[in-house]
Amino acid sequence: EMVNLKKLTKMYCALSPDAAVKAFRDMDESTVVKLLGLMKESDFQPIFEAINRSTGPDAKRLAQLAEKTRLVVRPGPSTNKP
């Protein structure tokens, strides 16, 4: 699953932020959170800005997804030293 998620993440990073948000509207919530969680900050920042500009019935859902993604713990560099 992780290999597929990483491939999808690259694909959505290549889209315009508005196109990515449009795709996320119909996507399963957990998948969106995983995809956004795998993105670099420089990639997801424009998408979050597009989410904040969203209007319509699913704007609240998109905002909730952004908040859930913010709470995802991103793996950092290993601090374990032998």
pLDDT in tens, 14-37: 999 999 989 988 898 889 889 988
Phi first, then psi: give them for residue 48, nearest 5 degrees: -60, -40
What are the pLDDT digits (tens) for 44-59? 889 888 888 888 777 7
pLDDT of residue 9: 93
Hey, which bits of 1-82 come out as E strands? none
Q: Indicate the SS3 state at residue 9.
A: helix
CA distance 33 to 68: 7
